[in-house]
Structures are given as C-alpha cells and as structure tokens.
C-alpha cells in the first residue's frame, strides 16, 4: 500500500461517493479525485420517482452532496462532466474528456476505483427513441419526465416492466392523475417474489384502476396523432398512451473495464474478489457495474442495489488503506410500496432454489402486524424458506399494509447470521400492542419450522392442490359461514370445534389435507387427527394463499 496514495474514482453516487469519503476519513493526506461524467456526483436515485409524484416536494433534498460540499468537508477533488474514456493499466493513467471545455487530458493514479454503475436495458425495440419515451436512472431523466408532464399534461401512460422502479413509477404517476397500464413480459410482476406472494399486490394495483398486461412483452412503440404513442405487444395487443416509462431492468456499465482488459464475470459485471479488487490489483470496482457472489447460492450474480453499493465503496477504501475488509456477498434484500401495500424480500425465492436443486421447505403465514385487539392491526402474508436438511434460512418474502419492513429486516439479519429456522422461535423481540404481538410473526415462523422439522406436522403447498390424487380428502375446518362463502373444490367442511365429535365421518384409508383460513386452526386439527390415527397434512398458508393464487387465473 502506498502511504499517501493518489486514488481516482470513476463515478459517484452510492459506491463512488462512499469510497471517496471513507478514503478521506482513513487517510487525511491521500489525493482523491472523483471523475463523474454527469452533472451530479451524489444524489438519491432511489428517491427520484417520489419527486416525480410530488411526495418529495423539494428537488434539492435529492442532491446529497455537491462538488463544493465534498471539497469543503472532505477535501475531495470532484470533477463533474468529466468522462473517463480509457485506462492505460501499464502506465497507470486514464484518459479524461472534459465535456464542458471539450478537451482531453491524462490523469495518473496509484489506485483506481470503478463505480460506473448500470444503464437501462434497451433491446432493439422500434420507437424507444421517440419523444415521450423515458427511462429513469438519474436526475436529468427525472427532470425530463417532470418537464414532459408539465408541458404535455398526459392523462395515460404505459409502464413497461413491473419491477421495483416500474411499480414506484405507477404509484407516483397515479398520484398525478395519470392512468397507467403495466406491460410485463413475465407471468407476474415483481419477479424476485414468488407468484402466490405477488397475487395480493396485483389485486391491490388493479383496485386503483391500473391495468396489468402479463406474459406480453412490448415489441414496438409507434408515433400516433397529436403526439401520443401506440404501444404494441408480442401477443398483438396495442395501447394508445401519452407517455411511456421503459423499465425492464438494467445492465452493468462495463465498457471501460472491458476495453482495459479487466476480467468480466459470467453475469456480465466486472469480476471482483471479496476485497473488491478486479483482475488488476491496482483497480477496484464497486456498485452496479460488478458481479457479486449470491449470498445464498454461492454463485456469481448481478444484483444492483443501493445498500450493497454503499458497503462496497467502504470496503474498497478500507483495502486501499491497508485495512483487510471482505464483501461476503449480496442476498438481495429489497422493498417496494404499491399504494396501500408493501412487498419485500430477502435471500432466494422458491423459483431460484428449485432451479438450483436446493432442497427447501416453505412456510406460509398470515399473522397480524401487531396485537389484533389494538386498533389498526393489518394482516400480513409471510413466506419463509429454509434448507430441508440443515434448517438454514434461505429466503423470505412478506406483503402487507404494515410491519413488512420490520419482519424482512429481521429475517435478512437472520440469514446474514447463518441462523436456522428453529432459532426464530427463540428471538426476543420488542412487544407492546401498537407495535407487535407477544408471539411475533417471526417467532411463529420459527415455531412452525420446529414442528415440521420435529415431524409433529407435515405440510403441503398451495400448488399441490391442483395435482392431488383420488386418495386424498380435502378437509375445511373453518366455520360453516366461512365455508359457504367459498372453499377449495371437493372439500368437506367440519369446523374445528366439531372435529372430535364428528371424527368418525372421516376415513383412515385416505390421507387428509386440512386447511382453514390461515393455517392455525388446521394445525390444531392435524394434531387431533394425527393422535387419533389419521394420516394428514396441513395446507401451508391455507385458504388465503390458495384463493389468492386461484383468483389470478
């Protein structure tokens, strides 16, 4: 390590800006130059949709640091509108183009940090360059969308892509009285969640008048009269709108790294070690431009998130300054609000675990966000996955009106700590009626896991219902009034309170799949039946999970 190194940082925002300020805190004498090709070096890109919708009123709140504030506080040499064109690794120099003055120059370095970020995925779809078609990645993008809305006063919009940014934009355009249609090429929105968890979110979005077009990617955007646009899909659908937000994902910006001969990973990001070093020991890379290790699968992955980018910037700075720091991987913890519901996830989803042949068990719960007797309690949908053999927690998802972030944050911490599902039952979490329950949903998930692993209960999943054999009897243990409002086809109704008296109506020759509304009563029924000599399973997530998915068609 050079005692007082000269460090060039290509790109600001989360990874680059954090690396720069951490470097200064660790070494007062280092020469630190930040080269940012845009006009803004440090801004809250996750807040951009909320300024478009008017929830964040003051635009300046999004600009976390300016070149002047970074210079005054951290003695950083920040050069905005300076684009790095190429890297000469042998000479340890970069060629920089000063966009304002239209001139190039060379800058030397001892260490180089690449924080070049990611750019919107734009396949060869005709019409992506038309006026009124936007992506949202930075402050100028945001400004262009706001100016277009102010000038053209659109009343309809197509949001292409139902991921996190797409859903945020739908919500915020709705706040501005712009009617939206989501076009998603996949069979569901929000692919990091599993289909049964997304179902209530899709219902909530549709309740607000938003149309969702699934399994149908956009292939053409045509200009129409009066400045409007016609969006056409692979399936032959067309929709005339005033505004298009293109949000199908991002790809890592690796042109600079590739041309310098740095190794690129199998997912397309810059390949780095756990110290964030590239294949050149003098060059580090952080943020959305890199390939990371998936914290559950142990495989390379591309997971562009702001939180990991911040930590990566810090870790790269540590290692440059001789502090041995490691980045252990990314588990993909993320959250989004869609109108009155929140959805969040962490770790691997069921689809990913099965694709990688990882044996796992799934737990579905529908607990209340806090004590049910205290006003404002709202029901949550929670899914936790754990390794069948070891019990290690592999992933979790939650959807609800309140308390989603708290539960997923706890489960993300449990994953990082290597906890097993049984450990959740023993967690001592804060409790008072306005905030939680004496038996928190996290504790409940652990207790269910303990019962399954101890073979006190066997479970089936909602997806198993469609393929049940003739030798399985469906038993609905909800009250008669609940049963009359809908049940799984061919189910027999014996309310839990009557089960002991009417147990003779059931055959021990058949396996019994028991369900109630959310799983608690059916668990009690299974305990009665098992101890009476019946073979039975509890339907995980019960009628609520099954009915949510069946309504989606």
Q: Which architecture, in CATH terms, is 133-248? A: 3-Layer(bba) Sandwich (3.50)
End-to-end distance of the chain based on CA atoms, in angstroms?
60
DSSP character string of 391-420: -BEEEEEEEESSSHHHHHHHHHHHHHTT-B
Question: Rounded distance, CA 230 to CA 127, Å?
Answer: 10
Evaluate whether 399 touches 424 at the Cβ level (below 8 Å): no
Longest dimension (CA), the chain: 89
For 69-73, 333-337, 343-347, which range has the lowest pLDDT when averaged over its residues? 69-73
Evaluate whether 441 touches 407 at the Cβ level (below 8 Å): yes
Q: Does the structure show a pLDDT above 70 at 553?
A: no
Element (H or E) spanning 512, and its range?
strand 511-515
pLDDT at 278: 98
Question: Rounded distance, CA 385 to CA 215, Å?
Answer: 26
> pLDDT digits over 457-478, tens only?
999 999 999 999 999 999 999 9
> pLDDT digits over 372-381, tens only?
999 999 999 9
Using the CB atoms, write b or e for 171-201: b if 16+ within 10 Å: bbbbeeebbbbbbbbbebbbbbbbbbbbbbb
> pLDDT digits over 277-315, tens only?
999 999 999 999 999 999 999 999 999 999 999 999 999
For 3-7, 107-111, 275-279, which range has the lowest pLDDT when averaged over its residues? 3-7
Residue 552 CB-half CA count within 13 A: 23
Write the DSSP symbol of residue 351.
Answer: H
Element (H or E) spanning 219, and its range?
strand 218-223
Report how far apart, in Å, the C-alpha atoms of 224 and of each of 94, 228, 237, 537 are.
46, 5, 16, 57
Reported in sequence order, the residue ranges of 53-178 that DSSP labels E, i.e. its strands, are 63-65, 77-80, 82-88, 93-98, 103-108, 111-114, 118-120, 133-134, 156-160
Mean pLDDT computed over every residue of the chain:
96
pLDDT at 360: 97
Give mean pLDDT, residues 132-151: 96
Q: What ranges do the domains of the chain cover?
A: 6-118+251-320, 133-248, 340-453, 459-551
Q: Does the structure show a pLDDT above 70 at 266?
A: yes
In this structure, what token pair is assigned to residue 386?
């754990």
At the top level of CATH, the class of 6-118+251-320 is alpha beta
> pLDDT digits over 389-399, tens only?
999 999 999 99
Q: Residue 46 catalytic?
A: yes
pTM for the structure as a whole: 0.94
In this structure, the strands spanning 290-293 and 270-271 are parallel
Q: Does the structure show a pLDDT above 70 at 322?
A: yes
Question: Rounded distance, CA 346 to CA 413, Å?
Answer: 10
In this structure, what token pair is assigned to residue 65?
């640091």
Evaluate whether 112 touches 31 at the Cβ level (below 8 Å): no
> pLDDT digits over 190-199, tens only?
999 999 999 9
On whether the 340-453 domain is CATH 3.50.50.60, my answer is yes
pLDDT at 64: 83
User: Given strand 472-476, what is the order of strands in its sheet?
Assistant: 459-460, 536-539, 511-515, 472-476, 492-493
Query: SS3 string of 148-171?
Result: HHHHHCCCEEEEECCCHHHHHHHH
Evaluate whether 362 touches 379 at the Cβ level (below 8 Å): no
pLDDT at 1: 63
Give mean pLDDT, residues 486-505: 96
Q: Does the structure show a pLDDT above 80 at 2?
A: no
Q: Does the structure show a pLDDT above 60 at 533?
A: yes
Question: Rounded distance, CA 300 to CA 280, Å?
Answer: 19
pLDDT at 552: 63
Question: Rounded distance, CA 94 to CA 82, Å?
Answer: 12
Q: Does the structure show a pLDDT above 90 at 226?
A: no
Catalytic residue among 46, 180, 430, 516: 46
Same topology, domains 6-118+251-320 and 340-453? Answer is yes
Question: Rounded distance, CA 135 to CA 527, Å?
Answer: 54
> pLDDT digits over 39-75, tens only?
998 888 899 999 999 999 999 999 888 899 999 999 9
Give mean pLDDT, residues 483-493: 96
Evaluate whether 252 touches 166 at the Cβ level (below 8 Å): no
At the top level of CATH, the class of 459-551 is alpha beta
Query: How much of the chain is in helix, strand and coil states, percent to nearest 5?
Result: 30, 30, 40
Q: Which residues lie across from 86 on neighbouring strands?
A: 95
């Amino acid at each position: 390590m050079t005692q007082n190194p000269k460090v060039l940082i290509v790109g600001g925002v989360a990874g680059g800006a954090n690396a720069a300020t951490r470097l200064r805190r660790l070494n007062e004498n280092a020469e630190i130059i930040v080269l940012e090709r845009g006009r803004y070096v440090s801004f809250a890109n996750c807040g951009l949709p909320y300024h478009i919708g008017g929830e964040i009123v003051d635009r300046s709140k999004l600009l976390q640091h300016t070149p002047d504030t970074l210079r005054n506080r951290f003695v950083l040499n920040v050069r905005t509108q300076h684009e790095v064109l190429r890297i000469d690794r042998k000479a340890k120099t970069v060629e920089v183009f000063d966009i304002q003055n239209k001139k190039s120059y060379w800058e030397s370095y001892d260490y180089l940090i690449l924080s070049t970020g990611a750019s919107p995925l734009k396949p060869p779809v005709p019409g992506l360059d038309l006026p009124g078609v936007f992506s949202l990645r930075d402050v100028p993008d945001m400004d262009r969308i706001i100016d277009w809305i102010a000038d053209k006063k659109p009343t309809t919009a197509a949001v292409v892509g139902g991921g996190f940014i797409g859903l945020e934009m739908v919500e915020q355009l709705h706040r501005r009285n712009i009617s939206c249609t989501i076009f998603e090429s996949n069979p569901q929105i929000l692919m990091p969640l599993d289909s049964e968890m997304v179902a209530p979110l899709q219902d909530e979005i549709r309740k607000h008048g938003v149309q969702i077009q699934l399994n149908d990617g956009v292939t053409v955007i045509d200009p129409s009269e009066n400045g409007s646009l016609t969006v056409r899909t692979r399936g032959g659908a067309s929709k005339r709108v005033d505004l298009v937000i293109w949000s199908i994902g991002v790809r890592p910006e690796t042109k600079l790294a590739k041309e310098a001969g740095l190794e690129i990973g199998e997912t397309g990001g810059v390949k780095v070690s756990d110290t964030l070093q590239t294949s050149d020991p003098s060059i580090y890379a952080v943020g959305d431009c890199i390939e990371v290790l998936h914290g559950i699968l142990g495989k390379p992955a591309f997971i562009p998130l702001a939180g990991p980018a911040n930590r990566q910037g810090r870790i790269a700075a540590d290692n440059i300054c001789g502090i041995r720091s490691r980045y252990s991987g990314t588990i993909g913890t993320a959250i989004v609000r869609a109108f009155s519901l929140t959805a969040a996830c962490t770790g691997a989803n069921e689809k990913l675990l099965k694709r990688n042949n990882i044996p796992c068990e799934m737990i579905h719960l529908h607990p209340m966000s806090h004590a049910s007797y205290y006003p404002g309690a709202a029901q949550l949908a929670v899914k936790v996955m754990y390794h069948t053999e070891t019990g290690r927690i592999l992933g979790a998802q939650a959807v609800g009106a309140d308390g989603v972030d708290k539960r997923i944050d706890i489960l993300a911490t449990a994953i990082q700590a290597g906890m097993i599902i049984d450990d959740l039952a023993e967690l001592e979490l804060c409790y008072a009626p306005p905030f939680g329950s004496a038996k928190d949903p996290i504790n409940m998930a652990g207790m269910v896991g303990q019962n399954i692993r101890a073979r006190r209960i066997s479970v089936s999943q909602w997806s198993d219902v469609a393929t049940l054999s003739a030798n399985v009897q469906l038993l609905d243990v909800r009250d008669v009034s609940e049963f009359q409002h809908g049940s799984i086809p061919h189910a027999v109704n014996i309310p839990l309170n009557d089960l002991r008296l009417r147990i003779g109506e059931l055959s021990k020759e058949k396996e019994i799949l028991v369900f109630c509304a959310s799983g608690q009563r059916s668990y009690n029924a299974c305990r009665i039946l098992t101890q009476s000599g019946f073979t039975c399973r509890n339907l995980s997530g019960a009628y609520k999970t099954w009915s949510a998915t069946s309504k989606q068609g």
